[in-house]
């Protein structure tokens, strides 16, 4: 199990938070997602054998947010 903190730009409200959480949780291998709107960060726990960090970042981008 790996844990990563991803900086994300463009998240401002609860709707943004839910959109990012839903997008990331939809990926196989993602175990936990926590969005910190104030810090502009997404904490993700995932199984590296099932999903790669780049796939998680791509999913956040696909939801309409910028990954730093």
Q: Which domains does the chain have, with CATH numbers?
A: 2-67 (3.30.70.100)
- The span from the CA of 49 to the CA of 35, in Å, is 23
**pLDDT attached to residue 12:** 92
**pLDDT attached to residue 28:** 97
**pLDDT attached to residue 65:** 96
**pLDDT attached to residue 38:** 93
CB atoms within 10 A of CB 53: 13
**pLDDT attached to residue 31:** 97
- Low-confidence spans in the chain with pLDDT less than 70: none
Rg (CA), the chain: 11
**pLDDT attached to residue 42:** 98
**pLDDT attached to residue 20:** 97
**pLDDT attached to residue 50:** 97
């Amino acid at each position: 199990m790996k844990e990563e903190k991803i900086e994300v730009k463009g998240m401002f409200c609860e709707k943004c938070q839910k959109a990012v959480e839903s997008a990331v949780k939809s990926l196989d291998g993602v175990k936990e997602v926590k969005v910190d709107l104030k810090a502009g960060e997404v904490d993700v726990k995932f199984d590296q054998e099932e999903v790669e960090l780049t796939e998680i970042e791509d999913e956040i981008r696909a939801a309409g947010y910028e990954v730093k």
